[in-house]
Chain A
Amino acid sequence: MNPVLRTDHLKVHHDTARGTLKAVDGIDLSIAEGETLGLVGESGCGKSTLARCIVGISRPTDGSIAIQGVSGGRGRAARLDRAQTVQMIFQDPSGALNPRLRVDRIIREPLDVNNVGDRSERRDKALKIAREVGLSDYHLDRMPHELSGGQRQRVSIARALALNPKLLVCDEAVSALDVSVQAQVLNLLVDLQKDLGLSYLFISHDLAVVRYVSHRIAVMYMGRIVEIGPAEDVWRGRLHPYTRALTASIPDEAARRDTGELLEGDVPSPVSPPSGCAFRTRCRFARQQCAAERPELRRVGTHEVACHFAETISD
């Protein structure tokens, strides 16, 4: 069966005064039906650019995106086509909703724009989706500012679901929500996946959240995937030094502990990335080969990792 999403060597390069900025630099990934792929990495690693490409807001400069096995073009028509299958939920629900539209109009808008059914069918459909995401008739009559943050995010989710997409791209979709509300929305996303067979590309800087919702996890660094595999294998059997540093940096909620593996410094400038392995300037295991030769993703055990010394640097 064809994966819901497949990207082949996807690149987004920007020409800047100081050189080419490789925001996304050759990403191959696929997401199966009903699967959640978690995407993590520091700010500036290209995860949001990748997300915007997949939804069609940004255009890749090279490579291709296939939705359910059909590789659309890069033009406007292809992007509009894609909108039927791929939808996005943004971080800040207040900024993502039109403040002048009532909630029922917001949810109905994708149906109106795409001329789905007649008026009453569209109204019924909007009501049905609203109920699926836990909103009542009461909420449909409100304006966005009358709702709480959690309810607004439910409206965003309902709008995203209006066209029966196969894939939802969630870019920090729960990051702006308070912990108690975050749990409500995460539960909702999990339920919707079960009921509708949705796939998710789930981007978050909150690694505990990504670990919880994902079937597979991909770790990005400077525009490339450095490790990808089944969620718990990447989490527990992390191989790439960057993945190890990321997970070691999370303040543990359950117990006080010393974080030994802290990363020094910041992500280097994406305009002039280090030669060889982009992570080598912050890697405590870096050796000569790392500067000379760029490691490609290769299979090690159950997952794939882009590190020359993945097998030898375990503790």
Chain B
Amino acid sequence: MTDTPPLLSIDNLAIGQGDNAPIVERIRFTVARGETVGLVGESGCGKSMTALATMGLLPGSLRVRAGEIRLDGAPIHALSQRKLRHLRGPSMSMIYQEPLTALNPVMTVGAQIREVLTTHLGLSRAKAHARAIELLTLTRIPDPAARMGQYPHQMSGGMRQRVVIAIAIACQPSLLIADEPTTALDVTVQAQILRLLKQLQTEQNLGLLLITHDLGVVRQVADRIVVMYAGSVVEEGDTDTVLDNPAHPYTAGLIAARPKGSRTEGAGRLADIPGSVPAPENRPTGCVFRDRCAIGQAICEGRRPLLTAHAGHSVRCHFPLSAASLASEVPS
């Protein structure tokens, strides 16, 4: 590692509403330039709130209650909306799950891309128009000049998501946050969009924070994986290492819960994780996963495990699984 700070650094971040139980509790991870980090977890684990906090877009009365978010070494979690507005676009941008709601239905696609360019970069209308066509070309939209005059409803879901991506990269940000960018799309289109994101990342040396619940997507595109559960990071490390040898019982449970093979050819019962994700105010003391964990013991109730290094990655568990013990200890 060199002395240059990571592109995005989230340090001890806690997010909550007033005095209520925090939604995100002291999480920590980084995203480097040119790196893809997959942020994984089930609904309610706090992954989207982490993304929104980074963008300075936390909804309602949710606030960053502790910790730091740094972009290129500079703290951004306490900046005014005015200052954040200058960062959103040129320094960081975000794409969302549902491209239809992310786009303005009464503006042409061209006008929406131009708006970003004239507002943030001060381009003239003609220059913005030319650059917008370039961006559509970059996102592999066929016949870009003709598409400029179309409205979102005239496009398919995949094309719309390409437009959203074109807008997101319009000001050449160094950090791109993608929150479930392919969840609303068909698998065939998902494959196209994932390929596109990967290509753009390489071409533009983007740091990509990819939020998803789909371990397959993470395996295919992420260099590193951060697994969240109930507001905490429970495991973190190199994607292949974590997915091949998960050390946290939750990660192992997520992998085991996915169907593999066919029941007609002897695939057995799915290894479900009993219960469901607790609401922030009902999270257990000690380890947040202990009430659903098959290997939990007394210490898990008394003391919250720390995120500690384990066989090449980090895990927050008093009894991390090792590759050898996995077969016997995964909840079945």
Contact = CB atoms under 8 A, between A and B. Distances in A.
Interface string B152-171: 00001111000000000000
A273 interface: no
Contacts of A190: 263, 269
Interface string B116-159: 00000000000000000000000000100000000000001111
Interface in A167-192: 178-184, 186-187, 190
B183 to A, nearest CB: 10
Chain A's interface size range is 35 or more
Nearest to B277: A178
A215 B267 CA distance: 12
B260 A212 contact: yes
A253 B255 contact: yes
Interface in A188-244: 190, 205, 207-209, 211-215, 230-232, 235
Nearest to B140: A264
16 contacts: A179-B258, A180-B42, A180-B276, A181-B272, A183-B270, A183-B272, A205-B187, A208-B258, A212-B261, A212-B267, A214-B262, A215-B264, A251-B217, A254-B260, A259-B195, A263-B188
Interface in B12-64: 42-43
Given A187-B269, A246-B188, A181 B276 contact: yes
A180 B254 contact: yes
Contact of A186 (B191, B217, B259, B261): B259
Given A42-B187, A184-B272, A211-B259, 15 more contacts: A43-B157, A178-B213, A178-B276, A179-B254, A180-B272, A180-B273, A181-B276, A184-B274, A208-B259, A208-B260, A232-B265, A249-B187, A251-B216, A256-B239, A259-B195
B329 interface: no
B12 to A, nearest CB: 27
Interface of A: 42-43, 148-151, 178-184, 186-187, 190, 205, 207-209, 211-215, 230-232, 235, 245-246, 248-257, 259, 262-267
Contacts, number: 131
Given A183-B273, A184-B272, A230-B264, A262 B188 contact: yes
A279 to B, nearest CB: 12
A182 B187 contact: no
B194 interface: yes
B264 A182 contact: no
Interface in B253-292: 253-255, 257-265, 267, 269-274, 276-277, 292
Contacts of B255: 253
Contact of A245 (B42, B188, B190, B253): B188
B229 to A, nearest CB: 10
Nearest to B182: A251
A248 B194 CA distance: 14
Given A43-B186, A187-B269, A266-B159, A256 B240 contact: yes
Interface in B203-256: 213-217, 219-220, 239-240, 243, 253-255
B156 to A, nearest CB: 4
A211 B217 CA distance: 18
B189 interface: yes
Contact of A178 (B42, B158, B189): B42
A214 B264 CA distance: 8
A267 B159 CA distance: 12
Contacts of A249: 187-188, 190-191
Nearest to A45: B186
Interface centre among A42, A211, A253, A267 (most CB of B within 10 A): A253
A202 to B, nearest CB: 11
A253 B270 contact: no
A186 to B, nearest CB: 6
B192 interface: yes
Contacts of B253: 180
A187 B270 contact: yes
